[in-house]
Structure 1
Amino acid sequence: MPPPWPHRIQIIQGDITHQAVDAIVNAANESLLGGGGVDGAIHRAAGPELLAECRTLGGCPTGQAKITQGYHLPAQWVIHTVGPVWRGGQHQEDDSLANCYRNSLALAREHAIGTIAFPAISAGVYGFPLERATDIAIATVRAYLEKHTMPEAVHFICFGDEAYRTYQAVFSAQSAS
């Protein structure tokens, strides 16, 4: 039986490209060829080898995930997942976002990744409401960790005060239930 889920989750304020974990998750676009926000920061920090490997992957549909090496990052792996663009909540955005977390965790488990760090997928330029995205992220990871021993630890990396406060509040609420 896996250890209790709350002990396996950390909420950290910082830069995902500086995290000393086995894998970081990239909130990528469907091309996997870099972009703005987290995606651009990861590509810049990893170096040109990441882009070269991503070119061989043939893109990635929304909700799915693919894995590459981490190159110049502290993390050995980058798991690329494509979050949904917020279109009002009536276009399976919640399910697509939950699939990003489930598929990223499944890839981590497949590759025996012990520690994984997630950004706030879709909560930036893709416009997903932050509290709703956070609730889905923590609930999905919680459900996964309750059934699996790997990954051993999940870090939610929050860029900025608002994201950090939101993740802390949602985590506390879910831990209490």
Structure 2
Amino acid sequence: MKTIFADITTLEVDAIVNAANSRLLGGGGVDGAIHRAAGPNLLTECETLGGCRAGQSKITKGYQLPAKHIIHTVGPIWHGGHNTEEEKLESCYLTSLQLCLEHHIKSIAFPCISTGVYRFPKQRAAEIAVATCTNFQNTHTEAPEITFCCFEKEDFDIYQQLLKTNENPLN
């Protein structure tokens, strides 16, 4: 498991994760960047998926991206932590990783899910991401290689610190 400071749309991995909205039809931030870079065929495929609930994930082709697949996951909107936001965020990672197993994906890159316009606190979101992915890798021998792709230096520094300590941040 590692973290990098990069644009997720440029990564040559089997799958990148799109922090999508529930309609899966493009939007701002990571979602908009992925849709623009993948090209119009992504929107056409997403229109057939019927949307997605918070905490769930769906998979499409990568189209014009270097990544072969895009896993679209809908992160929770932060409402102070009293509306199952943490459980839904954990589920974003788990359902994305489960799709990796089902589709024989060997490498995946995650953005910082829900920390932009959905306002999930960055430190807590990173703790959930690292702990969930660590636990998944420890319990699934076929788990993919995981990269946390950060677009902002603040996020990169948080992930670097968490991965450096090599501890389960949920304990």
Q: TM-score with structure 1 length normalisation? A: 0.93
Mapping 1:115-126, distance limit 5 Å: 115-126=107-118
For structure 1, list consecutive stretches of 5 or more residues without a partner in the other structure: 1-8
Matched AA of 1:52: T
Cα drift, residue 166 of structure 1: 0.6
Which of 64, 69, 72 is equivalent to 1:80?
A: 72
Which of 135, 139, 150 is equivalent to 1:158?
A: 150
Q: Which residue of 1 aligns with 2:52?
A: 60
**For residues 91-129 of structure 1, what are the alpha-carbon distances to aligned partners after superposition, in whole Å with 9 as ceiling and x for unaligned?**
000000000000000001100000000000001110000
Q: What percentage of aligned pairs have identical amino acids?
A: 55
Mapping 1:128-167, distance limit 5 Å: 128-167=120-159
Matched AA of 1:171: L
Which of 36, 40, 46 is equivalent to 2:32?
A: 40
Instruction: Provide the C-alpha distance between the structure 2 equivalents of 1:68 and 1:101, rounded to a whole number of angstroms.
Output: 16
Assess if the C-alpha contact under 8 Å between 1:105 and 1:151 holds in 2.
Answer: yes
Q: TM-score with structure 2 length normalisation? A: 0.96
**For residues 43-97 of structure 1, what are the alpha-carbon distances to aligned partners after superposition, in whole Å with 9 as ceiling and x for unaligned?**
0000000000000000000000000000000000000000000000000000000
Assess if the C-alpha contact under 8 Å between 1:70 and 1:77 holds in 2.
Answer: yes
Cα drift, residue 149 of structure 1: 2.3
Assess if the C-alpha contact under 8 Å between 1:113 and 1:150 holds in 2.
Answer: no
4+ residue runs of structure 1 moved beyond 6 angstroms?
A: none
Assess if the C-alpha contact under 8 Å between 2:136 and 2:143 holds in 1.
Answer: no
For structure 2, list consecutive stretches of 5 or more residues without a partner in the other structure: none
**For residues 2-36 of structure 1, what are the alpha-carbon distances to aligned partners after superposition, in whole Å with 9 as ceiling and x for unaligned?**
xxxxxxx0100000000000000000000000000
Assess if the C-alpha contact under 8 Å between 1:69 and 1:78 holds in 2.
Answer: yes
Instruction: Provide the C-alpha distance between the structure 1 equivalents of 2:36 and 2:5, rounded to a whole number of angstroms.
Output: 20
- Pairwise CA RMSD of aligned residues? 0.9
Q: Which residue of 2 aligns with 1:168?
A: 160
**Structure 2 residue matching 1:11: 3-state secondary structure:** strand
